Chains A and B, each alone.
Chain A
Amino acid sequence: MKPYIIPSGLSILVGLSCLSGAPRSYTDEQIAFWEDEAFPVLEENCWKCHGISKKIRGGLILTTLEGVLKGGEFGPSVDLKNPETSLLLKMTSHQDKDHEMPPDGKMSDEDIAVLAKWIEMGVPFPNADEVEPEGEIVHHGPDYEKAKSHWGFSKPTKPKLPLHALGEHPIDRFINLQLKEAKLPANSRAEDGLLVRRVFYDLIGLPPAPEEVDAYVNDENSEKFSNLVDRLLMSSHYGEKWGRHWLDLVRYAETNGYERDGNKPEIWRYRDYVIDSFNQNKPYDRMILEHIAGDELPDADAASITATGYHRLGVWDDEPADRTLARYDYLDDIVRTSGEVFLGMTIGCARCHDHKIDPISAKDYYSMLSFFANVSPHRNAQSNLIKVTATKPDPQLVHTRKNWEARKQQLDRSVVSFKSDFFSKLEPKHLPKSILNIADARTGGTDWKYTFSAPADDWQTNGFGDADWAVGKSGFGLKGTPGSIVRTDWNTPHIWMRHKFGLAELPESLFLSFHHDEDITVFLNGRIIFQKSGYSTHYETHDVTETAHAALQTGQNVLAVHVKQTAGGQYADISLRGFSKKINLDGLIGNHGSRVMTAGRFNSYKKDKKNLANHLKSEPSTNQYPVLAVAEQGDHPVHILRRGNPALPGPQVEPAFPSIFGDSETKIPASYKKGSSSGRRRVLAEWLASPENPMTARVMVNRIWQYHFGRGIVRSSNDFGIQGVAPTHPKLLDWLAHRFVESGWDIKAMHRLIMSSHAYQRSSAPNDQALLKDPLNNLFWRFDMRRLQAEEVRDSILAARGSINLSLGGPSVTPPLPEIILKTASQPDKAWGKSTPAQANRRSVYVKVKRSLQDPILLSHDMADTDSTCPVRFTTTVPTQSLTMLNGEFVNDSALSLADRIRRTAGPSSAEQVECGLSIVFSRKPQPQEVQAGVRMMEEVARVGNLSPKEALDRFALLALNLNEFIYLD
């Protein structure tokens, strides 16, 4: 809509008869004052912005009498009854801190006095000095009634399908109808090879292997296209590709921005939630509910709570100059993003005043904001984390658990090893009387009965007859096993050993020492008193009083041992010692540790023991993990803020939907209250996700269309308002919106529908006749070529070099960055991590999104801006991008790897090598002349640079990664 232009011709206000009528008559005094005093002051200080400029500020015109009396958006500029309270004087004398006029410096007191006198005199303003304003009024409200009929704000009606004669497919009927009307010829179907590549990138963001393309081309099944689409829709990489589209919209980043650019802990869980949701084909209405109010839903679970991380993705200044304003900035980010993402409406524009173009009032804005008003403040580090319970096995929890176990074992081993060595070194005089001593090999060994073949099940019991077992002195094993003293050879997989002993009195404490390779089980009178898997490298001693004491008896006892061996060295040796009194080993270590052992070992023992105790306290949960999510805190009334300024609160508002959609009154059902949450967001979410919502379905199908075709049916996919670009196919859009809702908001079904159309499968080739009539392809007479997205560029390079790591999910990775980039950080050594090479080769969707530091490959290929919702990526082409592709370390390393891959797979001739390389980057078999061109390149570069054939191939691989066909899709 064109901004409102002041109509020419003056209509004089009624009720001011002394000033009305034309021409106006003034006293000489009035005229003299006007000419000598008032006019120059107004002209110099006020008129530039309020009458004679291209833009009229604040809706205020001071070049006509009518304008002066009518005033601007804050009311009449003069009050003739009470001249001293006139707005004109208040603002010029800087009484109103928020409106100090003129903005570039206060007028002199004399000039202000002139204005005061002018008002007192009744604002004499001779007709002859009036200047008709021609500029646009900058602030003005929209025409609500007219705006209501804007296509974007009315609920889609289901259009009738055009005639069948136009095509089998419903989408083609709509598109062909418009092509027919415009007399435009449509392109034919793209070649199979090109189509496969298009579909692969479109659905999973990765290139097909040349073999996959061949298989498709040679497949004679008439369903092969839909089979391919189905197969790719089932791939886990589908979620990575389409999840990334969604991450653009929700301004996904993993740090807060500003001075510290602090991490958003665990936020990768949200990224994985998005990927999983697409992979599971979660209905879109459910996705909305989870994003806005996942914590308030009656069936809230780990996924839905993770989804509310959406509220936490924006920039956040931990040290704002004005905390109240910063709080509103934070909420504004949520309202603004939600308005554009879910509704395709620029609601955020109504923060300071009614929307200038769209029918969205400041009241609408603050009513929307109040849905989010109770969201708890964003804070540093761990404070916004919420624990959720996993509903399925969680790889990260398993990973964390594994790391924890490993650390525990490490500390355990260290503590046990110290204790064992201490116990064997401690002088006997510090120990109670020895009652039992079955010695191990270190002190001469003991005679054992043993066998290498499996005995009967009761072999470990006291009554078992071991008469036919052999007798041998411990230890048993293979000479050369580390730490072993072998007296009896054992080299079979198993050994079973028994030793009988008598006891007159029962010991009060028992210590077991052993050295085993591998799994050992120790029985006393048939009961297991100790078990350990794996192998030891030296003797360990354990206090077994608790288990052994209960098994012992006076008279005859039997100690039985089984050791199992699979590979490598093998050894079995054991001792059992019993004492007349309880032994407090920790006490003994305290008293004698520093004397018996070296200071170094004693100190590290103390440290590890403490670490172990702490480590045991931090035992990770097996099913719970934290996510960065939303909770509500308190009840915060919201007021309309004049000019968006928290210091100028207007009337209070309640949660309400934009009034353009009719009945905006909203009740929050009492039953929606959940814990400390008000249930407000659930009400909003249900409205957004309702089939009745006029915007939601249309906005989302338009996005799906856009990501398939490169542009939406509405090109401005975040703005369906009056400033937005009108749909090229409005009926098709409405029809798709209906279909989407009817399907149960089924995103994958929408992919199948769209991709099965001829429109999608058309060739991208130019056609001069069509180009002449429709150069922008408004009517979809062809499929538009597109450059790969930033992530696809990097992923395709990784794929070409053959080392892409396609593992799914988990914390983000930090591939190496050039030093010149790292140095731009205020703390270059702390700014970025260092992933292992395998992790560095993961898909780009897993590369950490740090607001202040970005990978040049991704940044130069127009990755999404992280600070606001990004509906459409730019496609820029600048020389610095080419520098990065030509000279950058990543691309050059990749070229060398690609060359190695070619050498591994192709024959030795350069023709074979070129053919192999081009097949990889083109996903097709190259033409003979293309191979020849590559061969010529290798020959010439070898000649010019005096290069070996290997080096020539290295250079060719670099060329291959820079080819347009590698980076562009047909």
Chain B
Amino acid sequence: MKQNQPNFCNQLNRREFIKDIGGGFAALGLTGMLAQDGFFASKAIAKVPDFVNPLAPKAPPLPAKAKSVIFLFMYGGPSHMDTFDYKPELYPLDGKTIQVKTFGRGGHRNESRVVGPKWKFKQYGQCGKHVSDLFPNIGECVDDIAFLHSMTADSPIHGSAMLMMNSGNLLSGHPSIGSWVNYGLGSVNENLPGFMVMLDKMGGPISGAKNWSSGYMPASYQGTVLRSQGTPILDLKNAKGIAGAEQRTLLDHLRMMNEGHLSSRYDNTNLSARVASYELAYKMQSSAPEAVDLDKESTRIKELYGIDGSRTEDFGRKCLLARRMVERGVRFIQVYSGGHHNDANWDAHGDLVKNHELHAGNTDKPIAGLLKDLKQRGLLDETLVVWGGEFGRQPTAEYKEGTGRDHNAYGFTMWMAGGGIKGGVSVGATDELGSMAVDDKFHVRRLHATILNQLGLDPNNLSFFHGGLDKSLVGVEGAEPIKQIIS
């Protein structure tokens, strides 16, 4: 990482730490630094050096507008022309077969039957943004939202498109965007992981953990799955039958015995790091349950998020959890709407109305609640909220019968709010059918560049050396943030 190496020894080439070297990842540099500082020559020689957590917070190299990101991932690919990309000319074409180039699961086609938008659009806010009846609550927030109507991705197939949206690459094996943020900024709150992922109750997205993997980076930067019910984080709860006081006793003795072991190996910071990591784990055990305890929230707040026992309860809890994570300094939170396969997510190949009514109905109120709540707490200014799926959908039908739409990576809509993003604006456009982006095409990399930029990271300079290359999230060719939406 170019701009960010204060935790390592400044005198040494960054590659000597970050690239493929033996020994401890975090601790090796420290030994060198201590030596440079004359540490070992001093009388404090037997003192254990402090643990440097690889996830310790780091100052962003550039001025940051956002401290945290909440990525609301609409897995499966929501239809843009049925949600936020108003296409009045599409309605009268319903049922007509027209010439239009499409590419989706069903391959390349040149003509297909139009499926008119299935919902009416209304204008909202001062900006007068058209939003479909699927999202009456989000409609109320449009003055805080910047819509990107001309998103493009490289693949209209879930597997590779998910990896593209999450890691900037169609090929498996690259770090996800949350890992990049974790790597670039660390976690403000050392008692919580810096990158958390909440999955739909129906199951994970396809490719599972690959979507929040740290790829070629150390595993410490990968996403941690957070659950809204049950044990929130893997192994957070004491093992069955072990009371808190017993665990504390165990940890105290563990530390003492480890310190005995360390006394003749005092220079080994990996050992002291491990001692410290148990204390951090202990703190995490006490702070994480508090962080996920929604009982602390008022009824009014719960209602705002749709936590009322209705269909919005599940996603509402996750959105509220996301806000609580933001308040506690978690850098990157990803919340999945939709999981598993077929209609358990936004992948509306069959009955478009049934599918989108389900998923929009589950999420509209919680998302609007999240935006409003962040705003009323003054958090929206420093929290970047991103909404969208891995691609959009085609204006035409996939099959002879029915309303199902196939995938569309040629043009689709995402939106961003907060974190230094202008409200009430819409940029880019698809053609009159919504079949492809025509004006100001924004590749997924531009979205990634914008997210990093708002966090104070330079997308073209945040790099990690691997396999002979300085690799970055936005690729060798680089990408610029979408300036039109940055306030």
Contact = CB atoms under 8 A, between A and B. Distances in A.
A959 B254 contact: yes
Contacts of A768: 40-41, 45
> Which 8 A/B pairs are nearest by Cβ-Cβ distance?
A346-B468, A867-B173, A711-B22, A259-B159, A321-B155, A258-B159, A882-B281, A879-B280
Contact of A877 (B24, B38, B243, B261): B24
Given A771-B35, A824-B199, A887-B236, A321 B154 contact: yes
Nearest to B153: A321
Contacts of B98: none
B277 interface: yes
For A787, A823, A874, A937, the residue with the greatest tally of chain B CB atoms inside 10 Å of its CB is A874
Contact of A820 (B157, B225, B277): B225
B26 interface: yes
A967 B220 CA distance: 18
Contacts of B308: none
9 contacts: A315-B172, A716-B20, A765-B264, A820-B227, A867-B172, A879-B281, A879-B284, A930-B257, A958-B242
A723 interface: yes
Given A321-B409, A880-B233, A719 B468 contact: yes
B267 A883 contact: no
Contacts of B31: 771, 775-776
A348 interface: yes
A866 B24 CA distance: 20
B234 A766 contact: no
B20 A933 contact: no
Nearest to A875: B24
A831 B55 contact: no
B334 to A, nearest CB: 12
Contact of B467 (A340, A712, A776): A340
Given A258-B160, A349-B467, A876-B25, 8 more contacts: A321-B154, A348-B467, A716-B19, A826-B206, A883-B235, A886-B235, A947-B246, A968-B268
B34 interface: yes
Nearest to A715: B21
B301 interface: no
B340 A821 contact: no
A827 B203 contact: yes
A828 B344 CA distance: 14
Contact of A104 (B210, B242, B249, B480): B480
Contacts of A367: none
B64 to A, nearest CB: 19
Nearest to B271: A964
Interface stretch (A158-166, A202-210, A422-430, A853-861): A853-861
A876 B271 contact: no
A683 to B, nearest CB: 25
Interface in A695-725: 706, 709-712, 715-719, 721, 723, 725
Interface string B451-487: 0000000001100011111000000111110110000
A964 B258 CA distance: 6
Interface in B1-51: 15-16, 19-28, 31-32, 34-35, 38, 40-41, 45, 51
B280 A882 contact: yes
Contacts of B270: 785, 787, 875, 877, 968
Interface stretch (A512-520, A555-563, A736-744, A938-946): A938-946
A590 interface: no
Contacts of B482: 104
A862 B41 CA distance: 34
B249 A105 contact: no
B480 to A, nearest CB: 5
B324 interface: no
B446 interface: yes
A871 B210 contact: no
For B20, B242, B477, the residue with the greatest tally of chain A CB atoms inside 10 Å of its CB is B20
Given A824-B199, A852-B210, A879-B284, A944 B160 contact: no
A358 B25 contact: no
Contacts of A766: 264-268
Contacts of B239: 886-889, 892, 958
Given A321-B170, A825-B204, A964-B261, A346 B469 contact: yes
A888 B173 contact: no
Nearest to A711: B22
Interface string B374-415: 000000000000000000000000000000000001000000
A401 interface: no
Nearest to B210: A852
A560 B448 CA distance: 88
Contacts of A260: 159, 206
Contact of B246 (A854, A930, A945): A945
How big is chain B's contact interface, by range?
35 or more
B203 A823 contact: yes
B254 A880 contact: no
Interface stretch (B122-130, B211-219, B289-297): B211-219
B284 to A, nearest CB: 5
Interface in A816-862: 818, 820-821, 823-828, 831, 851-854, 856, 859-860, 862
A955 interface: yes
Contact of A824 (B26, B34, B209, B440): B209
Q: What is the predominant secondary structure among interface residues of chain A facing chain B?
A: loop
Interface in A888-905: 888-889, 892
Interface string A737-780: 00000000000000000000000000011101001100110000
A877 to B, nearest CB: 4
B235 A818 contact: yes
B359 to A, nearest CB: 16
Interface string B265-279: 111101101110110
A852 B261 CA distance: 37
A708 to B, nearest CB: 11
A315 B160 CA distance: 12
Given A721-B468, A945-B243, A710 B206 contact: no
A827 B239 CA distance: 27
A89 to B, nearest CB: 20
A719 B225 CA distance: 34
Given A821-B234, A824-B208, A886-B281, A876 B265 contact: no
Contact of B257 (A357, A887, A889, A933): A933
Contacts of B26: 876-877
A872 interface: yes
Nearest to B212: A824
Interface string B244-262: 0111111101101110111
A489 interface: no
For A719, A860, A944, the residue with the greatest tally of chain B CB atoms inside 10 Å of its CB is A944
B300 interface: no
A958 B26 CA distance: 27
A965 interface: yes
B341 interface: yes
Nearest to B278: A882
Contacts of B139: none
B446 A104 contact: yes
B230 to A, nearest CB: 8
Nearest to A773: B35
A321 B157 contact: yes
Contacts of A933: 253, 256-257, 260
Contacts of B231: 820
B302 to A, nearest CB: 25
Contact of A775 (B34, B193, B441, B468): B34
A593 interface: no
B35 A883 contact: no
Nearest to B257: A933
A459 B26 CA distance: 86
B418 interface: no
B172 A258 contact: yes
Interface in B152-180: 154-161, 163, 170-173
A937 B261 contact: no
Contacts of B103: 321
